[in-house]
Structure 1
């Protein structure tokens, strides 16, 4: 099943999915949800709904500069996790970076997040670890 990536317009869906998926990590690290930062980033990031059978199942949020594409947020509904949706989102980002002729993909992920293994399988390597998060990158 191949998802469709379309511009996200439902800010509420994106925020609620992100908050729900990240809640455990935030609590463990003593981080509070920052609504103002989310609102600011909503305007700055490219946000895509990940849609299967006309139903949103996740969100992919990106930014980029001349050096890299950044996966700022990749959230998948729990019932759709471990079904290849995350892989397809990473591959979609890779294609966007290729089209933009950018040489690197970068991201930050909490060390305890099982998605670390997904990123490693997709060719990302850990560049540094700081504040409970891995900073990872891969060449395009």
Structure 2
């Protein structure tokens, strides 16, 4: 299976896809979808669409510090396997939410 990440540009589409993909995780945790929070974080994070064999299947959102890229994933989400294959490592799990990180290479 060919997996690609492409920069996301369609906020409403990304929100709709994320909301539908995450619905079961939110329901299991009694979390209510917050559209305003999604929109606020859209501007703060790097947002990418995930394509599997040229079909959009998901959204991934990254945050950074000087040397590391971060993302958070629900513990039962099968995307964890994909992120590990792409070089992310699991660092912390709190209440079923896993933080993953990828160390950025330095060009020094």
TM-score, L = length of structure 2: 0.72
TM-score, L = length of structure 1: 0.58
- Residue aligning to 2:83: 119
Q: Give the Å deviation of 1:56.
A: 6.9
Task: Please point out which of 87, 99, 107 is paired with 1:135.
Answer: 99
Q: Which protein has the bigger helix share?
A: 1
- Residue aligning to 1:5: 6
Does structure 2 retain, via aligned residues, the 8 Å contact 1:6–1:51?
A: no
Gaps of 5+ in 1: 70-105
After the TM superposition, list the runs of 4 or more consecutive aligned residues in structure 1 that deviate by more than 4 angstroms.
Answer: 1-4, 49-52
129 and 2 in structure 1: CA distance in 2 versus 1, 3 angstrom threshold:
closer
Structure number with higher relative contact order (C-alpha < 8 Å, ≥ 6 residues apart): 2
- Residue aligning to 2:16: 16
Give the root-mean-square deviation of aligned CA atoms.
2.8
